[in-house]
Amino acid sequence: AEEVGGGDKEVVKEYFNNSGFQRWRKIYGETDDVNRVQRDIRLGHSKTVENVMKMLNDEGSLKGITVCDAGCGTGSLAIPLAKEGAIVYASDISAAMVAEAEKQAKEQLQGDAATTLPKFEVSDLESLQGKYDTVVCLDVLIHYPQYQADKMIGHLASLASNRLILSFAPKTFYYDILKRIGELFPGPSKATRAYLHSEGDVERALRKVGWKIRKRGLTTTQFYFARLVEAIPI
């Protein structure tokens, strides 16, 4: 199979630096200029962020814990993590996204002496190095077919010493997702650019690198579907 770095990644990067940036910044923001579908996705995504925060907090305080947020978007997760005292490394393939996340983090976190601002970087997740207590990657796998997602999962696991949290659009909702939100994804045939993943495939990719799923969550709204898994080393 072809390396990640082929066509998909270039298309995704270009999209999230341009029209996708404008679109998703609105969805992830708080302004009123969103349509009904976008508002619904905003709600679903915020539930996923809430679920992740709960999964993490359930295992104890985040104070001083290192967290890598791979594909951080506008900082929807990186900012609440920093608020809880985590040491956050947040990166994204899109420079536009990273600039926006950095701006929002400064607005929301500066002046709070107890928090450390996340360290932001423009990087695709395949280039990330180092070790973090926890690695999180939310709603990124939807842009990649399974064989690329497998490699990404393996790489993300190699960066984590204790846990890896992933969210992805589950194949169970294949028909619904393509029909309902196809237009929100990059590429010439937009609907085909949203890749759904079966839970079994994700689980297999984790097993292959010696990880297993410990907790599962699911968020569904009318237009947003995300399976959440927390994996740990076997």
Decide: is 93 part of the binding site for ligand SAM (CB under 6 A).
yes
Interatomic CA distance for residues 27 and 36, integer angstroms: 11
CB of 100 or CB of 211, closer to ligand SAM: 100
DSSP 195: P
User: Restricting to residues 168-197, which ones interact with ligand SAM according to CB under 6 A?
Assistant: none
Stretch that binds ligand SAM, among 132-140, 175-183, 185-193, 203-211 (CB under 6 A): 132-140
* List 38, 51, 66, 94, residue binding ligand SAM (CB under 6 A): 94
Decide: is 224 part of the binding site for ligand SAM (CB under 6 A).
no
Stretch that binds ligand SAM, among 31-39, 54-62, 93-101, 187-195 (CB under 6 A): 93-101
Decide: is 138 part of the binding site for ligand SAM (CB under 6 A).
yes
* List 67, 88, 125, 149, residue binding ligand SAM (CB under 6 A): 125
Decide: is 92 part of the binding site for ligand SAM (CB under 6 A).
yes
Residue with tokens 């302004």: 31
* List 72, 82, 166, 181, residue binding ligand SAM (CB under 6 A): 72
* DSSP for 86-99, written as a single string: -EEEEEES-HHHHH
Q: Is 179 exposed, middle or buried (0-12, 13-18, 19+ CB in 10 A)?
A: exposed
Q: Are strands 160-168 and 211-220 parallel, antiparallel or unpaired?
A: unpaired
Decide: is 44 part of the binding site for ligand SAM (CB under 6 A).
no
Residue 203's SS3 state is helix
Kindly list the distances between the CA atom of residue 80 and the CA atoms of 41, 127, 170, in Å, as whole numbers in the listed order: 19, 25, 25
Which residues, including other chains, have CB under 8 Å from residue 27's CB and lie 6 or more apart?
Answer: 34, 38, 41, 42, 45
Number of residues that bind ligand SAM (CB under 6 A): 20
CB atoms within 10 A of CB 91: 23
Nearest to 206 by CA among 141, 124, 143: 141
Decide: is 124 part of the binding site for ligand SAM (CB under 6 A).
yes
Decide: is 80 part of the binding site for ligand SAM (CB under 6 A).
no
Binding region for ligand SAM (CB under 6 A): 9, 12, 16, 24, 28, 71-73, 76-77, 92-94, 97, 124-125, 138-140, 143
